[in-house]
Every structure is written in C-alpha cells, then in structure tokens.
Amino acid sequence: IDLLATSNVSIVILDDECSGYYIHGRSQMAFADTSMAELCHQFRKEEEMQVGARGLVPAATTEKLAENQCFEMFITKELRMAYESKLLSRIKESVAASSVGGGMFTRAMSRMNSNSWGNNNNNMNGYGGGYGNAGYGNAVGCGMVNRPSAIASDATIAAAEEISDIFKQLINFTEANAGSFVLERPFMDKFTDMPPESVSMMQGASPIFYHDFKMAFTRVLFYGIEWQLLIFDVLVFTAIDMEVTSFAIAAFCTWVVGMGVDVIRSTWGEINISRKSLIDQ
C-alpha cells in the first residue's frame, strides 16, 4: 500500500462480477518520480501532519478513517457491462487472434472473470486476478496458445483509456461525495456478506465503498488464503494416504500437487495480468 501511494498508483480489483476492492494510492507529492531527499522530506511532512491524509476521505472525523486506503467496492451492473463491452471484448478478440487453432486453454483463459485496474494519474490499466479465476479454478484443458503481442492494438489501447477515464471520474465523484458513498459496512452486511441494496437493486445507482481495515483484498492472493490452502493440502494428503496407505507416498504426492498449483497460479495469473494491463510478460 505504501508503495502504491509513493508511486501515485491506485488499484481496482474485481474478484466477482460487481464487487471487489479499491486501494487508494494517490500521492501527496507533485511528482512520483523524484529524488530520495525529496521523498524523505515528504515523509517527514506527513509524520508531522503538515499535509493532508493519504486516504480517500482525508476530511473524515477520525484519523483512522482519514488515513484508510483500502476499501471494499461494489459497482453497478451498468459499470460492469461498460467494462466488458469496451475493454474485455477487445482483449478476447486479441486472445482469439493470437491463438493457434482456438485451443481449449485459450478459450478458457478468455473467460477469466477476475479483473482489476491500476490508476496512475492519467492511466488505468488491467492488473491482477483472483485466486479462483486467474489461478486454477476456472480453466481446464489443453491446446496451444501464442504469447500475446508485446504491442497492444490501437483499439485495445483506446478502450483501456476510456475505461480509465470512467473509473477516474468515479473515484473523483466518490471522493467529492464521500459522506454518501464511502461508509463503514454494517454488521449484518458483514455477517451475511451481501452487497448493499442501493447497488444491487437501484437502476443507475452509484457504487458503494466500504472501509476495509483488515486488508481483505489479500483474499485474491495466495497470501490471503493460506488457511484454505493448508486445508486443501491436508485433504489431498488424507485422501492419498487412505488410498495407498503410505505416509511417504502421500506426503510426496501432496508436495507435487502443491507445486503444480503454484505453477498453474503463477503461469495463468501472469498471462491474465499481462493481457488486462496491456503490459508484455
């Protein structure tokens, strides 16, 4: 989070169709590309509270709210449809154009649903992917796929810039009306994990941001689902041990499966990030 704020980059991560996370990384410095002396001077000013808070709501009543940079985000169907029609469709066309024979792997990769964007003042680019969708739960099959071209098409770049502008306007609007759209999540919503009704039911409603003090965005990374991965390993070990009745073989097979999951996540996640950020692998 500190790196994003220093780099003047904000990130939107969608781990579901209309929900995800927003990390506010707007820098208080005039330029992100600066000297170490200027960087230390800026940190000193922040420490002495001579500049505004880093958070999305710097004028909040408490320091905790003013400094918070992580949010759960719920967007409307209209915004999601705009993203899919303007940018995802271009990416899928690029994937199809670069494939050889349209293998199952290529078609499965094109269906990935976990998306995110980074915002660096004038640019928002795809970045990221969730555990299930970009990792290993969403595509099975074989086939050959060429590496995507290092240079994105003009149509894809134009679509990315258009989506970037839409999200920048959204964040600016939300920041200006933080009292209405940046809230603390009610207990029942946390307990049931349900989206706010104002987003799920109202036509033309604005997205809602909930303060996230527990960095829930880590759930789209292996780092945030370590317990689930541990349980998965235990289940794999138990199943194999019951079948072969050998502790050593079960442990080895569990290690192999774990390494396979890591490789799949790393490979497919890198491809997903590369395609949606328009950055070559």
Burial class (CB within 10 angstroms; exposed 0-12, middle 13-18, buried 19+) of 224 = middle
Q: What is the pLDDT of residue 248?
A: 93
Residues 6+ apart with CB under 8 A from 234: none
Q: What is the pLDDT of residue 3?
A: 83
Q: What is the mean pLDDT of residues 194-213?
A: 70
Closest alpha carbon to 98 in 156, 171, 45: 156
pLDDT, average across residues 241-245: 92
Q: Among the listed ranges 38-52, 61-75, 138-152, which one has the minimum average pLDDT value?
A: 138-152
- The yes-or-no verdict on residue 106 having pLDDT over 60 is no
Residue 236 to residue 248: CA distance in whole angstroms? 13
- Mean pLDDT calculated for residue range 193-199: 70
pTM (predicted TM-score): 0.68
Distances in Å between the alpha carbon of 263 and those of 94, 101, 258?
Answer: 24, 24, 9
Once rounded to an integer, what is the mean pLDDT over residues 242-255?
A: 93
Contacts of 202 (CB under 8 A, 6+ apart): none
Q: What is the pLDDT of residues 168-194, one digit of tens each?
A: 888 888 888 877 788 888 888 778 777
- Does residue 147 surpass a pLDDT of 80? no
* Mean of all residue pLDDT scores within the chain: 74
- Angle between the N-to-C axes of helices 247-277 and 89-98, in degrees from 0 to 180, rounded to the nearest 10: 110
What confidence category does residue 99 fall into, taking pLDDT thresholds of 50, 70 and 90? low
Determine the Cα–Cα distance for residues 97 and 9; give it in Å rounded to an integer: 31
Are the CB atoms for 45 and 27 separated by under 8 Å? no
pLDDT band at 204 (very low <50, low <70, confident <90, very high): low
